[in-house]
Structure 1
């Protein structure tokens, strides 16, 4: 059936009308984002993001704020808040993967530990207290990089440097024998305001994992 001149005129307006609607939607979305808390340069933390002592709440909201600020802060042991005050259950754990590597500042006793480039974190509570915090550094997926990171922390964490000697030879022996699926090295725990333990795990696939666990001093 032939299309009338009037219908052709109406159809010719349709793409333009759709374009106006699309542009309007983009402008509205941009305005909404600009008004969002996420785009503020230094957004103020709410009570569900930072605890009463300035520690990061160990909750989704707290980790969201750490993503924006680029820093997560935790106090372990004496002087620290209870699990419930940090948003944790009496006995349980909470994990977070950060949108970008962040700095983690951990206070234990009179010592303060600063660890940069952390990709993920797991906090564990027991008997109503914060029992441990485990950090997973970014860029430690290959053995040489993971070993280098461990060695870079030895002095500041108070590890015995001899625990990190001969690791490549031990790994070569593991690969030569072909026994077992993983090769694991545990360094520490150290003495100080917090007990710090580092763990390296090498898999036969070639992948490597590294984590740093902080626990209250005994």
Structure 2
């Protein structure tokens, strides 16, 4: 039996290797990396149009760099999309398995079972608060040079604080969003737990 399972796993691995060649994997990783870089530059970089009068050369260079990054991102995404279509993986890329808590003993599921309304209200409030904190930080970053075009260490440190707050808000939002999704599945009743434990009890005897 173990040898048969080993053969099946090898066949599955070989199939994945056939579907995803080295070039496909490289493009896939580049696609993820360029998306992260592009999103960081787009949202975590202040708008430089307010500095055009005082620092025209710097603004021109930054604009050219951003345009180049945008074109690279578009090219890689188009290449990645073409490879998905060619390998019949386009539909699979849109499919996402729902996250479900698989722990036999989970404090969050127990809290939800005890008070489901408070469980959803608490997580909804956390998600709403982190969203507004992050949106406020992104707004402050975008308009950072609107009222004051001074560039010094103190103001750059202040800008870094808004960027850090935006990143932390995003991380907390994603974390609690995953927690809410994974612990919002169907809850097992006491009868289900007894039925699942019954075979184990018979085997132990």
> Which TM bucket (shorter chain)?
under 0.3
Whose relative contact order is higher, 1 or 2, with alpha carbons under 8 Å and at least 6 apart? 2
Q: Of Structure 1 and Structure 2, which has the larger fraction of its residues in helix?
A: 2
Q: Of Structure 1 and Structure 2, which has the larger fraction of its residues in strand?
A: 1
